[in-house]
């Protein structure tokens, strides 16, 4: 009983946002995709609830789904979406059909939905093409899908502005498997006392897909997100209206691996008096840390020992000093205070410098690209000075330490995303030549 109450409370919190589909296995936004890939070896996993209110006759569809995307290479990405549970509420749909769920004729259906497998090839960061296959998991009796396989593709055009956000445009086409009118009519007349037989020989319509949207950074970990998405029915004979959906909301970066999407949705072409013309969206997305932010450790090249011959013709090998390699220290956003982790790293660097009293160093201060150049140069200098102060307080002669700030001028990682941008907020120690 207690579990049932908890589950009900969670649903009551989630359903008002009624998910509109976020991250369809591939990297993207709601129903739209971005041209760039997640990158080789990287992945994303999404759990969500998708709510769609649709013409004709006030049909309401809720999808509970999981999706997964994986980068086979830096240009090739695969994605899969499984609608593990689907609820279809046709309300007044008892005299004709809806293209996506043609067998629905009663107030309520639920059961498995469909599985979608897609593959996206990124020609560049701005252009990509994607193909997909959709396999239904339901039967005519459960009436949660068309029961026929479908396939299609998309052309994707995106911009990638690291300081502002991303804009993307998608154009696509979906071919639905056909349903013979006689088969459909026999099934419907068996289940309905009143049934208007559709014209034409084929029941399902192909779909033209188009949309534009993107996200705009509002704060360091908050984006405004939006999408305008169009579905056109090319050969429908049931009087079903085309759909134009507007979705607006927010994306919250909980960590470098987890983000949450929330959005409100409005069907702009729903022009009758029925109330179910709006919904919402919520999803939780887990991503791997992109390869480019994994710190590359450069293995020092050990010089070959120098061999000199003494007068007595004996070979003497001089001791070889191992090249010094220092670890970077990282800072929180807009901060120059050393974290406990940074202090632990610097304590080890102190030991190295005490062993090599002949070595002088340069401490470089770096920032991400948020803020003005002048502000970031000053912040970088404060970060470098904080490292120097720590080294001096632990016994290192200040005359051995020089500091310099590069601000945002020399990023080590991609400033486009917070997942990578945070690794540019750092101090870098290197040996001074001479």
- Cα dihedral sign for 81, 86, 90, 95? positive
pLDDT exceeds cutoff 70 at 199: no
Same domain, residue pair 278 and 316: no
Give pLDDT, residue 358.
87
Q: pLDDT tens digit string along 122-142?
A: 998 789 999 999 999 999 888
pTM of the model: 0.64
Top-confidence range, 25-39, 59-73, 359-373:
359-373
Same domain, residue pair 282 and 313: no
Give pLDDT, residue 124.
86
pLDDT exceeds cutoff 60 at 208: yes
158 belongs to a structural domain: yes
Average pLDDT score, the chain? 79
Give pLDDT, residue 412.
87
Domain boundary among 237, 260, 288: 288
Q: How confident is the model at residue 304 (pLDDT cuts 50, 70, 90)?
A: low
Question: Comparing 282 with 64, which gets the higher pLDDT?
Answer: 64
Q: Are 60 and 14 in contact (CB under 8 A)?
A: no
Give pLDDT, residue 238.
57
pLDDT exceeds cutoff 90 at 362: yes
Domain boundary among 288, 318, 338: 288
Average pLDDT rounded to a whole number, residues 66-79? 89
Among candidates 8, 29, 72, which has minimal Cα distance to 259? 29
Give residues with Cβ within 8 angstroms of 340, minimum separation 6.
none
* Whole-number Å distance between alpha carbons of 348 and 111: 58
Average pLDDT rounded to a whole number, residues 129-156? 93
pLDDT exceeds cutoff 90 at 346: yes
Average pLDDT rounded to a whole number, residues 386-392? 94
Question: Comparing 289 with 188, which gets the higher pLDDT?
Answer: 188
Average pLDDT rounded to a whole number, residues 265-276? 63
Same domain, residue pair 52 and 116: yes
Tell me if the bond preceding 56 is cis, omega within 30° of 0.
Answer: yes
pLDDT exceeds cutoff 50 at 291: no
pLDDT exceeds cutoff 60 at 357: yes
259 belongs to a structural domain: yes
Same domain, residue pair 178 and 34: yes
Average pLDDT rounded to a whole number, residues 282-292? 68
Same domain, residue pair 335 and 201: no
pLDDT exceeds cutoff 80 at 380: yes
Give pLDDT, residue 169.
94
37 belongs to a structural domain: yes
7 belongs to a structural domain: no
Domain boundary among 262, 288, 314: 288
Domain containing residue 362? 306-431
What percentage of the chain carries pLDDT values higher than 70?
Answer: 76
What CATH number does residue 81 fall under?
A: 2.40.160.40
Q: How confident is the model at residue 17 (pLDDT cuts 50, 70, 90)?
A: very low
Angle at 277 between CA 276 and CA 280, to 5 degrees: 95
pLDDT exceeds cutoff 70 at 363: yes
pLDDT exceeds cutoff 70 at 295: no
Q: Which of 31-40, 130-139, 173-182, 316-325 has the lowest mean pLDDT?
A: 316-325
Residues 54-77: b if buried by 16+ CB within 10 A, e if exposed:
bbbbbbbbbbbbebbbbbeebbeb
297 belongs to a structural domain: no
Same domain, residue pair 258 and 403: no
Give pLDDT, residue 253.
86
392 belongs to a structural domain: yes
Give the containing element (helix H, strand E) for 407. strand 401-407
pLDDT exceeds cutoff 80 at 94: no
Same domain, residue pair 256 and 328: no
2 belongs to a structural domain: no
Total of domains in the chain: 2
What percentage of the chain carries pLDDT values higher than 90?
Answer: 32
Same domain, residue pair 232 and 368: no
Give pLDDT, residue 294.
41
Q: Which of 237-241, 270-274, 329-333, 405-409 has the lowest mean pLDDT?
A: 270-274
Same domain, residue pair 189 and 42: yes
Same domain, residue pair 98 and 157: yes
Question: Comparing 364 with 58, which gets the higher pLDDT?
Answer: 364
Question: Comparing 235 with 227, which gets the higher pLDDT?
Answer: 227
Give pLDDT, residue 34.
86
Give pLDDT, residue 96.
63
pLDDT exceeds cutoff 50 at 14: no
Average pLDDT rounded to a whole number, residues 191-197? 69
> In this structure, what are the phi and psi dihedrals at residue 264, rounded to the nearest 5 degrees?
-110, 140
Question: Comparing 148 with 275, which gets the higher pLDDT?
Answer: 148
Same domain, residue pair 129 and 270: yes
Copy the structure tokens of residue 282: 């919520």
Residues 161-181: b if buried by 16+ CB within 10 A, e if exposed:
ebeebbbbbbebbbbbeebeb
Question: Comparing 366 with 245, which gets the higher pLDDT?
Answer: 366
Same domain, residue pair 277 and 396: no
Placement of tokens 């609608």 in the chain: 83
What CATH number does residue 425 fall under?
A: 3.30.1330.60
293 belongs to a structural domain: no
């Amino acid at each position: 009983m207690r579990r049932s109450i908890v589950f009900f409370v969670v649903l009551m919190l989630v359903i008002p946002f009624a998910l509109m589909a976020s991250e369809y296995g591939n990297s993207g936004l709601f129903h739209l995709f971005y041209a760039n890939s997640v990158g080789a070896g990287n992945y994303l996993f999404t759990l969500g609830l998708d709510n769609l209110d649709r013409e004709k006759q006030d049909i309401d569809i809720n999808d509970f789904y999981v999706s997964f995307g994986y980068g086979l290479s830096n240009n090739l990405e695969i994605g899969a979406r499984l609608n593990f549970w689907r609820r279809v509420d046709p309300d007044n749909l008892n005299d004709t059909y809806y293209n996506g769920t043609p067998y629905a004729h009663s107030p309520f259906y639920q059961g498995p939905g469909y599985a979608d497998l897609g593959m996206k090839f990124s020609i560049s960061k701005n252009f990509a093409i994607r193909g997909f296959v959709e396999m239904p998991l339901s039967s005519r009796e459960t009436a949660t899908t068309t029961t026929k396989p479908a396939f299609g593709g998309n052309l994707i055009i995106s911009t990638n502005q690291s300081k502002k956000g991303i804009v993307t445009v998608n154009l696509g086409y979906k071919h639905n498997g056909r349903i013979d009118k006689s088969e459909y009519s026999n099934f419907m007349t068996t289940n309905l006392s009143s049934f208007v037989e559709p014209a034409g020989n084929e029941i399902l319509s192909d779909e033209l897909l188009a949309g534009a949207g993107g996200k705009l950074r509002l704060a360091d970990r908050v984006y405004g997100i939006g999408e305008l998405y169009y579905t056109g029915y090319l050969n429908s004979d049931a009087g079903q209206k085309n759909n134009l959906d507007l979705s607006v909301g927010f994306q919250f970066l909980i960590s470098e691996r987890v983000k949450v999407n929330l959005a409100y949705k409005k069907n702009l072409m729903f022009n009758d008096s029925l109330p179910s013309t709006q919904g919402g969206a919520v999803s939780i997305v887990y991503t791997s840390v992109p390869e480019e932010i994994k710190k590359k450790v450069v293995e020092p090249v050990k010089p070959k020992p120098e061999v000199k011959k003494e007068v007595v013709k004996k070979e003497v090998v001089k001791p070889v000093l191992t090249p010094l390699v220092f670890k970077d220290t990282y800072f929180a956003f807009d901060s120059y205070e050393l974290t406990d982790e940074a202090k632990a790293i610097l304590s080890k660097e102190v030991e190295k410098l005490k062993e090599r009293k002949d070595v002088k160093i340069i401490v470089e201060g770096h920032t991400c690209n948020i803020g003005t150049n002048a502000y970031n140069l000053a912040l970088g200098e404060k970060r470098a000075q904080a490292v120097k102060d720590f080294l001096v307080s632990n016994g290192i002669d200040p005359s051995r330490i020089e500091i310099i700030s590069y601000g945002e001028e020399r990023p080590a990682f991609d400033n486009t995303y917070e997942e990578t941008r945070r690794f540019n907020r750092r101090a870098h120690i290197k040996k001074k030549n001479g």
